[in-house]
Amino acid sequence: EAQVTQNPRYLITVTGKKLTVTCSQNMNHEYMSWYRQDPGLGLRQIYYSMNVEVTDKGDVPEGYKVSRKEKRNFPLILESPSPNQTSLYFCATRGNALLDTGYTFGSGTRLTVV
Amino acid sequence: KQEVTQIPAALSVPEGENLVLNCSFTDSAIYNLQWFRQDPGKGLTSLLLIQSSQREQTSGRLNASLDKSSGRSTLYIAASQPGDSATYLCATSGGSYIPTFGRGTSLIVHP
């Protein structure tokens, strides 16, 4: 089954403690991205990657890092989380233009930073 | 820069009604348009994907149309059910692969 898997689903952490949210896909998609969703602000893109070792900033990259060392994985790293990073996070993928099935989203990670 | 607007922002209807959700976009040079459903606190589930060369797509009780020249798409839900209650989002994408999302329409279908 084609899917995007995020872990963990829920995470409560303290300010300043480094954390990583993982994202893995089994569809061999080149494009992967991270979003955060906040009430009243909609979906905002954090970072995206067009392929292995190619990453770019989205609209709200401050406080986040990503890496794309292999095609299937695109982890989101918060080096020093702060309470304003409390949010619902989504990973999304998309295939290439020859087999475009649109965007596929993970189930989300609810992060609370206290 | 592409802007996507969804009207109405919220909708509450009795069960059985036929519904139309609207999505408008400012830049008609899109590659495709995708409709999603999101339940509270959950991920986005793809409902329909319309390529720029297509006029509509259908899946069960759902029908989505696309009019690029006027910058509009509509999602038609026939015979609505309480299980259809969710937020519906549309997203356009151009050649850059970076989508632009609307803020969504929050739908409640009451028995």
Predicted local confidence at residue B17, as pLDDT: 96
Contacts of B57 in chain A (CB under 8 A): none
Contacts of B55 (CB under 8 A, 6+ apart): B65, B66, B67
Q: Which of B12, B18, B6 is nearest to B71 (CA)?
A: B6
Select from B45, B51, B101 the Cβ nearest to the Cβ of A42.
B101
Contact across the interface for B97 and A31, Cβ inside 8 Å = yes
- CA distance to partner chain A, nearest, from residue B86 (Å): 15
pLDDT tops 70 at residue B6: yes
pLDDT tops 80 at residue A98: no
Contact A5, A23 (CB under 8 A): yes
Predicted local confidence at residue A5, as pLDDT: 96
Evaluated on CA atoms B71, B2, A51, A111, the torsion sign reads negative
For residues A95 and B37, which has the higher predicted lDDT (pLDDT)? B37
When the pLDDT of each residue in chain A is averaged and rounded to a whole number, the result is 94
pLDDT tops 80 at residue A97: no
Q: What is the mean pLDDT of residues A67-80?
A: 97
Query: B38, B57, B98: best mutation site toward chain A, by most A Cβ within 10 Å?
Result: B98
Q: What is the mean pLDDT of residues A44-70?
A: 96
Q: What is the mean pLDDT of residues B70-78?
A: 97
- CA distance to partner chain A, nearest, from residue B33 (Å): 8
- Going by pLDDT thresholds of 50, 70 and 90, the confidence category of residue B48 is very high
Contacts of A100 in chain B (CB under 8 A): 31-32, 49, 51
**For residue A7, what are the β-bridge partners?**
A22
When mean pLDDT is compared across A21-35, A88-102, B60-74, the lowest value belongs to: A88-102
When the pLDDT of each residue in chain B is averaged and rounded to a whole number, the result is 94
Give the DSSP H or E segment for A65: strand A65-66
pLDDT tops 70 at residue A71: yes
When mean pLDDT is compared across A5-14, A39-48, A67-76, B89-98, the lowest value belongs to: B89-98
Q: Looking at the complex, does the CB of residue A31 fall below 8 Å from at least one CB of chain B?
A: yes
Q: What is the mean pLDDT of residues B66-90?
A: 97
Q: Is B26 helix (H, G, I), strand (E, B) or coil?
A: coil
pLDDT tops 90 at residue A21: yes
pLDDT tops 70 at residue A99: no
Predicted local confidence at residue B72, as pLDDT: 97
Contact across the interface for A108 and B98, Cβ inside 8 Å = no
